Chain A
């Protein structure tokens, strides 16, 4: 059974820091991996989608990498801002639906 783990569960950093969020999964047979952002009381916003054949994807200050063989993905956030404060969710598609990690709650202080 596919399991997705995100470490750390919570992270606090000062504004301007570069940071890395980690995601690991137990079965490397995935179709893709998707990173989402969730603000308190809100829905999920898709940030980046990495196909199983890709190594990384970039969008603005965000860069996501995928190492399928080791079952790991990282989300790199450059020059963090208070507006980046949110919960970040990682999800893998290994069959019909997405399987989620429990998320990393990020707090960026000014």
Chain B
């Protein structure tokens, strides 16, 4: 009963380095999301996907790229990490973005950029 799994759980990057965060869900959900959580700012939507092969920008997309090659996986990439990207990243999934269905979240990835 895995639900939504994020990899890795912790990471320290140097400024300018790149990395990819992986989100995997085993609930056959169509919709997947990436959020970041910062103190005093709450959770903000970075990118989302409404199905395999589709992606769209959220509230704070700059500096990030995403891909949804398989329905169960949603990847978040940082091409050139900056200290402002230090945050906790959460992935979520749901059956549909429009219908009234419950969203499930992963345990988060704590990223520090030095």
**B108 engages A42 (CB within 8 Å):** yes
What's the A-B contact tally at a CB cutoff of 8 Å? 63
Interface positions, chain B 1-46, Cβ under 8 Å from A, are 31, 33, 35, 40-45
Q: Interface size on B (CB < 8 Å)?
A: 28
| CB neighbours of A52 from chain B (8 A) | 100
Residues of B within 8 A of A (CB): 31, 33, 35, 40-45, 48, 50, 56, 58, 90, 92, 97-108, 110
Question: Nearest Cβ in chain B — how far from A23, in angstroms?
Answer: 12
Residues of A within 8 A of B (CB): 31-32, 34, 36, 41-46, 49, 51-52, 89, 91, 93, 95-103
**B43 engages A51 (CB within 8 Å):** no
| CB neighbours of A103 from chain B (8 A) | 42
Given the interface contacts A34-B102, A95-B97, A96-B31, does A101 sit within 8 Å of B42 by beta carbon? yes
| CB neighbours of B48 from chain A (8 A) | 96-97
6 contacts between A and B (CB under 8 A): A31-B98, A34-B102, A49-B102, A89-B42, A91-B43, A100-B35
